[in-house]
Structure 1
Amino acid sequence: MTTILVGVDPAAPAHEAIAFARALADAEGADLQHVSAHRGESAAQLLHQRAEATDARLVVLGSSHTGRLGRVIPGSTGERLLHGAPCAVAVVPRGHVDRPIDHIGVAYDASPEAEAALTHATELARHLGATLDLIGVANPDPYEDDDSARTVQVRLERALRTLPFDVDGTIVRLHGEPADALAIHSADLDLLVTGSRGYGPLRSVIVGAVSGRLMRTARCPVIVVPRAVAAPTP
């Protein structure tokens, strides 16, 4: 059985994060554990240690109480976990409405980090019975061949063909600056999954430029997946 951890601050309980974590745990048949730091303890360190001890699949956190309603904003604990957590980390927007997770998006650019995010998102879609958007972002500059619309389209089509038969996948090609385009599209999603930075320790979450900005602008819960961590078999 896999384990999902949810960080709970007694002084400012994150009901949105608990409800979101419970929905994932119920769908995956995972063991849901609430983790709360006592006075004088580092919540980030405690969550990190518990994640390692339980081989957790995911740590779920609520957004900072100072953030805008409906937007993800990691607090101090989230910021620390997003720079070295041993498993995927989810941040849930403040004021997020508890509803079925029917529509998942994954940021995909064919990098190893994106492949890890796609694996994680695919397993979630299978367990939840959700549709999966494979999202690529094309640079609007026609002189940038590597990021051309055609290149992005080919990558997405290849990824779509790798999905299992029981996952309903759709290609979504966006244009513009990746973090901005993904943040806007997130308003249509129940969950957005993205990979970590392309360097840093294996099996650790290290946010990069795009994932870091998404953690401050997305309009749905965001999961950042560590490098080289495969999702468990169903």
Structure 2
Amino acid sequence: MNDAATRGAKRIAVAYLATPGGDDALAVGAQIARSLGAHLDLCMVLPLDRPILAPLPQQERQDILSENATHWLKHAEATIPDDLTVETHISFHESIAEGLIAQCEALGAEAIVVGGSGGGLVGSLSLGSVVNELVHSSPIPLVISPRGARYQKNLRVREVTCAMGTRSGAHVLLDTALQACQRAKAPLRLVSLVSFDPIPGGDDDQSARERAAIHAQQSLETAKLILPLDFPVTSIVAEGPTIEAAVNKLDWHEGDIIMVGSSRLAQPRRLFLGSTAAKMLRVLQVPMVVIPKEEANRD
């Protein structure tokens, strides 16, 4: 579907594959698009070279791949409820990740939703090679879908959790989470994670607790100043011997999502999955949204 009337609309892009992971991404993308009042774009980027088709002329190879992709996208589109506006897109690129970024930037997508069940990490969220490249380079917020998300029943986002850090740039994550909550009309939960892993030169346990409690309260006060009066927002400090244990102490429900910032190693306007977020991925069963460093917020 390509309607001129959809131009200028808010958009959520799904990096689709005809796989269980692709169906997980489709379900999460539809949920987020519905919650934000956005259109849904199903994107497929095809490789320019496939060894099995190498003997054929390039145009014939592309025609065969396009025909298959069109079939997969039509089938995927047919599973999406009628309340969402959907468009499908096919392109070719030497790098699937670079092609997805180019396609989504051209669309003006607010986020790219990917399937997380590609191998590479143990748990409900794992990374394939394309997703792994995206989590270390995308200029667009990336939503990593957990394995099995295609079975969810919640049509909308239930609650947004924002994992707050103390590094420079944390305000960008908070600002983005505040905007998302207001658009989705979903409660906001601010979380400060405290791990008691021994870190050379790090705080002792009590100092870490105190610093996290102060930071959580400051984040809550900032959020209340920005959000409308009586908007549901809470803050909590979750602690444990490891980051994974701290995350597991939190209550999670179907329809929840968590937002995290990028590592300090990220280039400006690029995201980079940090070590803490990577640990969280091992145990999370909800979608994770990774925000690029110094991402320009969108209304």
2:293 maps to 227
1:60 maps to 113
Q: 8 Å contact 2:195–2:240 — kept in the other structure?
A: yes
Deviation at 1:144, TM superposition (A): 2.5
SS in 1 for 2:282: helix
Give ranges in structure 1 of 5+ residues lacking alignment. none
1:171 maps to 235
| 2:162 is the alignment partner of 1:106 | yes
The sequence identity of aligned pairs, in percent, is 21
Q: 8 Å contact 1:67–1:94 — kept in the other structure?
A: no
1:1-234 to structure 2, matched below 5 A, reads: 1-10=9-18, 14-40=22-48, 41=93, 42-64=95-117, 66=119, 71-96=124-149, 97-99=152-154, 100-140=156-196, 144=204, 148-163=208-223, 164-165=227-228, 167-176=231-240, 179-181=243-245, 183-185=247-249, 188-189=252-253, 190-233=256-299
Letter matched to residue 206 of structure 1: F
Query: Aligned partners of 2:259 and 2:205: how far apart in 1?
Result: 26
Q: 8 Å contact 2:194–2:246 — kept in the other structure?
A: no
Deviation at 1:70, TM superposition (A): 7.4
Query: Aligned partners of 1:32 and 1:38: how far apart in 2?
Result: 19
Query: Aligned partners of 1:57 and 1:146: how far apart in 2?
Result: 40
SS in 1 for 2:143: strand
Q: Deviations over 1:109-136 (max 9, x none)?
A: 2323432222222222112222211101
Q: Deviations over 1:67-103 (max 9, x none)?
A: 8997111222110100110111011111122413212
Q: Residues 81 and 112 from structure 1, CA distance in 2 versus in 1: closer, same or farther, beyond 3 angstroms?
A: same
- Worse-superposed segment, 123-132 or 195-204: 123-132
Q: Residues 219 and 10 from structure 1, CA distance in 2 versus in 1: closer, same or farther, beyond 3 angstroms?
A: closer
TM-score normalized by the length of structure 1: 0.87
Q: 8 Å contact 2:142–2:289 — kept in the other structure?
A: yes
Q: Residues 13 and 151 from structure 1, CA distance in 2 versus in 1: closer, same or farther, beyond 3 angstroms?
A: closer
Give ranges in structure 2 of 5+ residues lacking alignment. 1-8, 49-92
Residue-pair matches, total: 233
Deviation at 1:3, TM superposition (A): 2.4
Letter matched to residue 266 of structure 2: G
Letter matched to residue 31 of structure 2: A
- Worse-superposed segment, 140-149 or 73-82: 140-149
Q: Residues 200 and 14 from structure 1, CA distance in 2 versus in 1: closer, same or farther, beyond 3 angstroms?
A: closer
